[in-house]
Structure 1
Amino acid sequence: MGQIINKLSRIYIKKKVKVFMAGNPSSGRTTILYKWKNQKIEYYQPTLGFNVEHIVHNQVEFEIWDAGGGSAVRNIWIHYLQGVEALIAVLDSSDLKQDQDYFQEQIKKLLANLPSNNLPFLILANKNDKYQASLEEIEKYVGIEKFKSQIQYKIIYTNPFSGEGLTEALDWLSQRFI
């Protein structure tokens, strides 16, 4: 039934958007991606390269590139940015000490290599059931002050197990394109 609805919804697609989704290892990127895709939680192996899925929401088809978070993969992220119109960063809001400097450097590299300025930048503060960092803590972790002139951003608390924030995230992103 879900596949039929997905195929029918493609008839009404107004816009196709390539999205690059990045984050630290074990931040929950892949779990979020497949919760959006399948509406269920499964347990996944760490992403070694990329997962690519098409998600249709509010007449927008998102081609989401889930980039593995390991340091070897991070070095090749910039080679997959051609045509990207939005960026999603997933962080583990219960562990804001994890690779903060490296995370900020990678976001800086991504933004410097994207084809346009002022693109939508969705920050998913995941795992907020363990600890919900404040917006200020998240902005500091991401280093948002350094990037504000280049982006339109939104921070959304997420928990894929309860579904919290996931629809809101796609709503915000799709509104940038319709």
Structure 2
Amino acid sequence: MKKLNIKELYAFIGRMSKREKAVFYAAVIFVSVMILDRIVISPITGKMRALDNEIRQKETSIKKNLHILAQKDRILMEGAKYAMFLNSSKSEEEEMTSLLKEIENIANKASVYLIDMKPVGVKTSGLAQRYEISLSCEGQMEQIVDFMYGIESSRELLVISRYQVSPKSRESSVAKASLAISKVVIP
């Protein structure tokens, strides 16, 4: 390849007409601008677009985190309400004993006579453990309803999963009830 000589280039441009020179200079300027765009401007604008997208993502994340932080106190208060259900470090026997005592206390408050109360067992499903008992009791219908309400509204997670209420005898105002009660514990 032949080396480009500056004098020859000037001589070549000098032989051009005014119109050819204008077209030549316009072409040189156009090519220079295109090279400048491809080498300098495009990478800078591409990087700026990428940074803008990253900034938008960070802003969205910050807004979401600020929303959570704004609710921090409410979340902590809600967590404190349920902390007693989550922090059970008792053994199965201790938990079952605690459940039986709780039911006895509720029965005493409702003036219900407990005939029979037996632990059925412990069922584990996922993270939760369900302690189940079955019981038979007697009392006035109002007392049995109070007893059932006391179980369902207990501070423990007690649930009546099955019940059957029937009169003890035809002329008696005393009712007999059989219940299946369970307590959910999340260790």
Pairwise TM-score range, normalised by the shorter structure: under 0.3
Normalised TM-score (structure 1): 0.23
Larger Rg: 2
Normalised TM-score (structure 2): 0.22
Higher relative contact order (CA 8 A, sep 6+): 1
